[in-house]
């Protein structure tokens, strides 16, 4: 409860910052300036009460998204203050806001979550939307310097870093079942799906079990891929055409798309997550408000302006009430993990996470027969990732329940060799390996399972630096060491440690196995490498180093 309460308080603080930002910039809006405070309040209320925010506020780990948003909002407020100070001729104050306060808030945002680095880009959106340059008064040099140092040069540096060598970004996709091209084709569909959920929340379909979002393998596979790309281009064209006539429409659309640049573009993240809309949705609701005012001004006036305004306010209040009700319903679902999973199984049948969370619930009910029935169904699933996980879970259940693994089940696990490993595969391998560490299972000894794991990682079509690969190899090495094959354990640990990305636990075991095998020269080298990687404040790491020092001969 305390974790959720803290997230809720952060959410409310973010709402206050959104109101302060919008109230300030809307005073500069030619269409909305007369009702700036009220429009800002209504947008903030919709943002605070929208059910799409539930999976950010109540999903504890997404406090990083909340805190990043909080500091980005502070950076934007600071930018607006600095920009207005420059307009008023207070150059020193403006410089302090732009070159001290904004960068400080941005750094704190990045420390919370990487997309805090988007703050300068969002400042550029506000600059283009609400601080227009005219011929008599061009943009101040201070502003130009801010964007050169805070946006243009960092973007150029990041582009060069990821573009050279070209393999850097492509290789990072080894952790995914989709390619860079497929992600770029899929994300426009994801963006329009987000916008649909923001306009019309879809109750039970909301949540975190969105890993089954279909991949776009081509412009017509699925067919909505092409329409989404066209729609995205049309949205950009609309924003550009509305820049002068409806600043809120331009600023809102540009803000929404710019805030998605990091998590919905080239980086090898999962295709879809609701919490990515936490900050961008501010822009979306601003664009909707601007579009409604634009359309409202074009309609024939059939009643006095005050009556029309009251109708709009009543409608906005009714909308907030409906959103509050929908959010309360979502929060009720989030009280129970089993309720969330049951909903996800129905509404997200393609979610691997939902299927295996449901398995864990059934497993914890201690019903072996029901668990095995569910596993057998999953082992026949059309998704190869689901099938691979299921066959390993079948062996784990056989070992735990019967203390004996069926040779056919073990053979199905060995047949995973040659497949691309996912983090979920690694985790279930570690579960089975962890069980075998302390228990015997007829038909599957520690050495036999280590041999299976070694074959799987040796044939995985991924670099050895991939997390799922090196951690699975580490598990094989640990089982070799515990099963009485220290020389093979050392060979596997050497392969793991020399990837350069394995964590210190690998080096600790590697050095101890080297000592056991009387490879003292190698052990001293590994110990020296560990000494550089384990900081002095890491007490557990320092204790491990002390143990290695005691084991090494003087």
Note the pTM of the prediction, 2 decimals: 0.90
Helix (H/G/I), strand (E/B), else coil: 404: strand
- Per-residue H/E/C for 115-144: HHHHHHHHHHHHHHHHCCCCCCCCCCHHHH
How many of the other CB atoms lie within 10 Å of CB of 224?
Answer: 16
Q: Name the nearest CA neighbour of 282 among 111, 114, 101, 126.
A: 126
177-225 pLDDT, tens digit per residue, is: 899 999 999 999 999 999 999 999 988 899 999 999 999 999 999 999 9
Helix, strand, coil % in the chain, rounded to nearest 5: 75, 0, 25
- Give the C-alpha separation, 393 to 405, whole Å: 11
254-290 pLDDT, tens digit per residue, is: 999 999 999 999 999 999 999 999 999 999 999 999 9
- What's the burial of 113, exposed, middle or buried (CB within 10 Å: 0-12/13-18/19+)? buried
Instruction: Output the pLDDT for position 299.
Output: 75
Low-confidence ranges of the chain (pLDDT < 50): none
Q: Are 139 and 112 in contact (CB under 8 A)?
A: no
End-to-end CA distance of the chain: 54
- Give the C-alpha separation, 508 to 512, whole Å: 6
Q: Are 407 and 443 in contact (CB under 8 A)?
A: yes
- Give the C-alpha separation, 493 to 9, whole Å: 46
Instruction: Output the pLDDT for position 112.
Output: 97
- What's the burial of 517, exposed, middle or buried (CB within 10 Å: 0-12/13-18/19+)? middle
Instruction: Output the pLDDT for position 134.
Output: 59
Structure token pair of residue 410: 């073990």
How many of the other CB atoms lie within 10 Å of CB of 458?
Answer: 14
Instruction: Output the pLDDT for position 347.
Output: 93
134-184 pLDDT, tens digit per residue, is: 555 678 999 999 999 999 999 999 999 888 887 788 888 887 889 999 999
- Give the C-alpha separation, 436 to 56, whole Å: 37
Instruction: Output the pLDDT for position 528.
Output: 96
Instruction: Output the pLDDT for position 492.
Output: 98
Instruction: Output the pLDDT for position 221.
Output: 94
Burial 98-108 (b: 16+ CB within 10 A, else e): bbebbbebbeb
- Give the C-alpha separation, 49 to 58, whole Å: 13
Instruction: Output the pLDDT for position 304.
Output: 60
């Amino acid at each position: 409860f305390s974790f959720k309460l803290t997230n809720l308080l952060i959410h409310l603080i973010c709402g206050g910052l959104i109101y302060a930002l919008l109230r300030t910039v809307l005073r500069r809006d030619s269409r909305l300036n007369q009702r700036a405070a009220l429009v800002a309040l209504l947008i903030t209320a919709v943002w605070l009460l929208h059910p799409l925010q539930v999976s950010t506020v109540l999903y504890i780990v997404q406090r990083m998204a909340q805190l990043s948003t909080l500091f980005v909002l502070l950076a934007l407020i600071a930018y607006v203050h600095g920009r207005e100070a420059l307009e008023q001729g207070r150059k020193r104050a403006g410089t302090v806001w732009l070159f001290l306060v904004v960068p400080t808030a941005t750094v704190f945002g990045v420390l919370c979550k990487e997309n805090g680095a988007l703050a300068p880009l969002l400042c550029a959106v506000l600059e283009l939307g609400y601080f227009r340059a005219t011929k008599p008064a061009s943009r101040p040099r201070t502003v130009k310097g801010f964007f050169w140092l805070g946006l243009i040069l960092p973007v150029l540096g990041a582009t060069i870093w990821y573009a050279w060598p070209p393999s850097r970004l492509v290789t990072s996709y080894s952790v995914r079942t989709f390619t860079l091209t497929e992600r770029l084709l899929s994300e426009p569909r994801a963006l329009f799906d987000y916008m649909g959920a923001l306009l019309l929340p879809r109750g039970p379909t909301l949540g975190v079990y969105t890993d089954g979002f279909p991949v776009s393998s081509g412009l017509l596979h699925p067919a909505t891929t092409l329409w989404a790309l066209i729609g995205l281009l049309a949205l950009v064209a609309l924003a550009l055409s509305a820049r002068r006539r409806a600043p809120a429409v331009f600023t809102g659309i540009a803000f929404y798309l710019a805030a998605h640049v990091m998590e919905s573009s080239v980086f090898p993240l999962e295709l879809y997550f609701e919490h990515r809309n936490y900050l961008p949705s501010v822009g979306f609701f601003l664009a909707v408000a601007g579009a409604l005012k634009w359309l409202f001004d074009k309609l024939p006036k059939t009643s006095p302006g005050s009556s029309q305004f009251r109708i709009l306010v009543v409608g906005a209040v009714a909308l907030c009430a409906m959103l509050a009700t929908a959010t309360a319903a979502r929060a009720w679902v989030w009280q129970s993990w089993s309720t969330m999973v049951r909903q996800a199984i129905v509404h997200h049948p393609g979610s691997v996470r939902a299927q295996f969370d449901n398995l864990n619930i059934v497993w914890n009910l201690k019903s072996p027969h029901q668990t095995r029935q569910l596993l057998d169904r999953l082992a026949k699933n059309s998704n190869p990732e689901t099938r691979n996980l299921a066959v390993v879970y079948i062996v784990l259940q056989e070992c735990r329940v019967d203390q004996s693994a069926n040779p056919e089940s073990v053979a199905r696990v060995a047949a995973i060799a040659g497949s691309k490993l996912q983090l979920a595969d690694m985790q279930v391998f570690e579960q089975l390996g962890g069980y075998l560490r302390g228990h015997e299972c007829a038909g599957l000894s520690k050495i036999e399972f280590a041999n299976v794991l070694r074959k799987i990682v040796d044939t995985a079509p991924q670099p050895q630096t991939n997390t799922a690969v090196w951690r699975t190899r580490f598990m094989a090495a640990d089982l070799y060491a515990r099963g009485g094959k220290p020389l093979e354990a050392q060979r596997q640990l050497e392969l793991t440690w020399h990837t350069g990305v394995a964590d210190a636990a690998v080096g600790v075991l590697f050095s101890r196995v080297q000592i056991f095998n009387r490879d003292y020269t190698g052990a001293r080298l590994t110990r020296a490498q560990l000494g550089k990687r384990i900081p002095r404040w890491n007490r557990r790491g320092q204790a491990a180093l002390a143990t290695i020092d005691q084991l090494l001969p003087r």
